[in-house]
Structures are given as C-alpha cells and as structure tokens.
Amino acid sequence: MSIRAFVGMGFGVGVVLALSGSAFAQDWSNSGGNAGRNGQTSEVGPVAPDVLWSGGATSLISWQPVIMGDRVFVVRQNGFPPEPNSDESPVICYDLDTGAELWRFNIPFLTGQWTTWIAGARDGRVYACRGGNGATSSGTVWALDATTGAKLWESEDSVDAGFYDGVVFADDGDLIVASFRDIWRINAEDGTRVWVASRQGSVSGSCGAAIGNDGVYVVDAVAGPGHAIKKFDLATGAFLYQSPTMTGFTVQQTPMVGPDGSVYLNRTQNNILTDFFYAFEDSGAAFTEKWSIPSQWTTNSEFTVGPDGSVYMLQPGLLLSRLDPSDGSVIDSGPVLDTDDMTNFSVNPRMASDANGNLFVSNGRFAAGRLYAFTASLQPLWDFGVTNVNIGGPAVGRDGTLVITGNGTQVIAFRSAGDPCDPDGCLADWDGTGGAPNSSDFLAYLNAWSMQDACADLAPAGGDGAWDSSDFLAFLNAYSMGC
C-alpha cells in the first residue's frame, strides 16, 4: 500500500502522530508503571523465563520495585517498627544489567513512623517515605540522588500515604501523592508544596491517584452510599467534578487511565451485587459511564491496557480476561490464576503489557505466589514461582528487563535475547544505524511496510498477515518515543 493510499484511509500523518502521542513509559517509574497507572511499556518483555540475574538483600515482605535507566530500586524489609537502628527497611539500588548492589540508604526512623516505601523514580531522583500503615503514620518524602543515594531534600509536608497507595508523576516530574484524606502535589526540585486538596477515601489504604486528561483521579466515598471517581485539576488541585455513583461500601483500588483517556476502576468489596469493573469517559466537563462488567474482588492491584486498547482484568472466579474497550465485551478469557489456602481473602494481581501486546501478571499470593506471561489473546507463554510476591512487580524497564521481588533473597530480573526483527530492542530503528530515530528510519519502515516485509507486520503481537494502519501506528508510537 502506498502512503497516498494510507492517508486516503483517513489517517493523515498529523492525525497518526497525534494518535501515537499516548506515550508508553520506558522506565517503570512508579506503581502501575506510569502516570496513568495503566501498566503499558514500549519495551518488549521476556518471551521465556530467561533469568538475567537473581538474589539480593533478604526481606520478610516483597515491595514494589521501580526502574529508571540502568538501575532498579527496591525496599527490602527485615523487621517491623520500631526500628532501633533505622536499618531494617533500606532503599537499595541494584544495577539492572548485573544485579550488583550499587548503594543503600536508611531513612531515619522517627517515633510513630512506619516501614520505608519507595514512591517512585524520575529525572535522576528516587523518592521514599516512612508514612502510611493505613494512614495512621506520617512522614516526609525524601528525594535521593539516583546515582549516589545521597539525600537531596525532604518534603515541606509530611504525608500519610503508604506502599499500597503509591505515587504518580506530573509531566514536569512533580509528585502527586494521594492518601486517605488528602492529595498533595510536591515540587520535584525542592520538595515544597505546590498544592494540597482534601478528599474522602472509604478505606485507609490503596487510596492512590492516577493522572490523565489534565486531571488527578481518585475514588472516594459519596452519599448513596457508594463511590465515585473524582477529578481534581492537575495544575491547581481544585475539585472539578465526579462520576455517576457506583454502589458499594468499600473499595481498595486505584483508578487507571487508558491511552484514549478512558478511566477504569475495579470497584469491588467481595459482594456479587456490587463488584464490577467500570469504564468511564471523561469529556472534560463530566463523566459518562461507558460500561461495567462483573468482577473479581481484588485489593492493592494494578491492571493494564494493551497496545491495541484491550483492557485486562479478572472476572469472578479469578478468570483472567481481555475486554473490548468500547463496550466491555469479553474478547478472550484465559486461565484461572493460582491461589493458596487464603481463599477467603482478596487476590492482589499486578499487570504489565509490553509493546508486542504480551501480558505479565503476578498473582500477589504467598505460598502460591507466581508470575505469568501470556500472549495478547491470553495464551500461556511461561510462568515462574515467586513466593510471597505481594506487590513485588512485575516492573518492566530498559531492554525489556522484567523485575519481580518476593521474600527471602528473591530479587529476580528476566531478559530475553532480542527479536530477530528488532535485534537492538529499538522498534523504530529501521535503517540499522542506532541512535535517535530520524527520517531515514521513517522511510526505511515505510518501504518495508509497502513491500509487505514480514518484519513490518507489527500489530497485533506476532503479526496477522495484514500490513495496515495498525502496523503503521505501532511504528509511529515507537518513533515518537525515540525508540
């Protein structure tokens, strides 16, 4: 197909570039991977359980790793507060390629504080805090130099958010911290308050925020009784409007924002009458419910959206499912996730979706803790046991390196050999010269696409034998991201 024919289909180059602007993060900067907490990455994750390295500091509990460039940051916890020497929950930096420990930092323990948790990593800084424990403990956010581990600043405000709430980043790197009662925007340069807003979570944990459509989204308790997704202005913190009420008494989940701006929430509490996965459209002035589907009770979870927009969630009975984002209909259903003897408790899945549409899921369990990999259509690729995985990943970073943590010394990095169609891991490098993609790469891909080169059949994952607009959009997304 010629470029003239492609444009004739209604996909002008300007329009295509605009559509590809929903950039996928290549770092795994925070819980959920990016500002929208939608688990997408432009990297291609491991196609087999190829362990790059494993082992690290011991830990009683596994916590969320974050990845920035060639470094991965974790907290490894070996005791519970009070910590007499402030050294039982250090922030540790590992080399992403080798697993070598590069530095560790102990945030001082103050009376009434809790275990250290990592908020995220962005722009050469790693952020951590000792607040949380169900919003009963407050602490300042610490910014550390990602290269050396040296302290850069402490935040002006103490926050009572914790591990399960997480933090997301505005475009300029400012931190958005949401807890049970408040939302803060913290200046990334010096830790000063940009704004603080009040809100009303229903449970004092898993109350975090997601960013999208120039707003901050949280889910709050409202009259009904029920819940609504509330939108706050990202620049000022002013409350803007809220979604239609979703029935139910409690929720321990954070909203997720898809690349198209749709806002998703798993509003569950272990009640078949109220447990649904919702999708809302935000017009910029109001929310409209797009659809809802019965859902599995989960807490402390992070879901994902594939590169084609497919939404991944759990139907009742722990059935992993792929939904059509337009109407919530089930496209594919995969296996039932493993669990253990704690069947009366919620599960805590965490998900990631790579550039090929492959899905990575941890089940959040204890003795039965496991990491799974599936194709976009939920065909099993591989799985790997990780005891007490809790919220320990998956996190996908540079070169498709996937990091997962468990208890004991389980800090594990997986990385597969490069795709023969993409040997350097840069989907937009079509002239083979490396470096930032440029017009030469664009023309090389256009030629391969028009000649129906097998390697130019990029979408869906693995190709479908049709060289059409979806392939071109996949290339443009990588091109716009610089790889």
CA-CA-CA-CA torsion sign (328, 330, 335, 341): positive
Give bridge partners of residue 175 from the DSSP assignment: 169, 186
- C-alpha 130/C-alpha 115 separation (Å) is 6
Measured CA to CA in angstroms, residue 156 lies from 128, 131, 180 at distances of 14, 14, 19
CA 446 to chain CA centroid, Å, is 32
Each residue's pLDDT, cut to its tens digit, for the chain (483 residues) gives: 333 334 333 444 443 433 333 334 489 999 999 999 999 998 999 999 999 999 999 999 999 999 999 999 999 999 999 998 899 999 999 999 999 999 999 999 999 999 999 999 999 999 999 999 989 999 999 999 999 999 999 999 999 999 999 999 999 999 999 999 999 999 999 999 999 999 999 898 899 999 999 999 999 999 988 999 999 999 999 999 999 999 999 999 999 999 999 999 999 999 999 999 999 999 999 999 999 999 999 999 999 999 999 999 999 999 999 999 999 999 999 888 877 655 556 689 999 999 989 999 999 998 889 999 999 999 999 999 999 999 999 999 999 999 999 999 999 999 998 666 776 667 888 877 766 788 888 888 888 888 888 888 888 766 677 888 888 888 888 888 777
In whole angstroms, what separates CA 466 from the centre of its chain? 30
Asked if residue 62 lies in contact with residue 116, where contact means CB atoms within 8 angstroms, the answer is no
What are the structure tokens assigned to 322, written together?
Answer: 């792929």
Helix (H) or strand (E) holding 323: strand 319-323
Alpha-carbon Rg for the chain in angstroms: 21
Name which of 297, 305, 232 is nearest 266 in CA terms: 297
pTM: 0.84
What are the beta bridge partners of residue 384? 371
The region that residue 123 occupies, defined by phi over 0 for left and psi between -120 and 50 for alpha, beta otherwise, is: left
